[in-house]
A = this chain, B = another copy of it.
Amino acid sequence: MKIAVFGTGVVGRTIAAKLASAGHEVMIGTRDPAQTLARTESDYMGNPPFPVWHEQNPLIKLTTFAEAAAASEIVFNCTSGAATLDALKLADEANLNGKVLVDIANPLDASRGMPPVLAVSNTDSLAEQIQRAFPQVKVVKTLNTMTAQVMVNPRLLSEESAVFVSGNDAEAKAQVADLLKRDFGWPSVIDLGDITSARGAEMLLPIWLRLMGALQTPLFNFKIAR
């Protein structure tokens, strides 16, 4: 499958590498590929600049949001929540219409200090903002409730944990659930409901951030005990 991954950070890199290793043709979309390839500094988390990662993953092409979207059947949004709507506008609605958009972004706002709050929540969500702005795109919210390593390797944890999907299109959710199972190794997927249920998934972030502090590691995930 031809898949576009928007975002050159840790989430985008992790998702892109896993999809490529599963045999998909993966393109990473970014605002300005030349600028991204000119980076020489590690980010604030100590992750190496994109060119260092790209050398180790030469089969994954870096291009613009628009070119990546136009060439792909499915798009993963791994941009930061604050940059998501701009990135999707740059991708051009015509290149996205009718396609599945897997939205992994969280609308975190650290401008008021740490820990970050949500820029949108409770009565709305980033996923709903995307769905309203791009009504012909099949938005599926998923994977935003865990750290990148766990997204693509749920067996990193000692027991089976939970991954959720939210979206208005049942077929799109089923397609994403299949991909999560087959390519990422998730044994099962919980369907929370329509796109408004993404509010609940995004509102997990505040406790996720506190748990990372309490447990002193991002390597955990929510599980539903029955």
A residues with a Cβ closer than 8 A to B are: 112, 117-118, 121-123, 157-161, 164, 190-193, 197, 199-201, 203-204, 206-211, 213-215, 217, 219-226
Contacts and interface: CB of A to CB of B under 8 A. Distances in A.
Nearest to A219: B226
Given A157-B225, A219-B226, A226-B158, A207 B214 contact: no
A224 B220 contact: yes
29 contacts: A117-B123, A118-B122, A121-B122, A157-B226, A158-B226, A161-B225, A192-B210, A192-B211, A192-B214, A199-B206, A200-B207, A200-B208, A203-B203, A203-B206, A203-B207, A204-B204, A204-B207, A211-B224, A215-B224, A215-B226, A219-B226, A221-B224, A221-B225, A222-B222, A222-B223, A222-B224, A222-B225, A223-B224, A223-B225
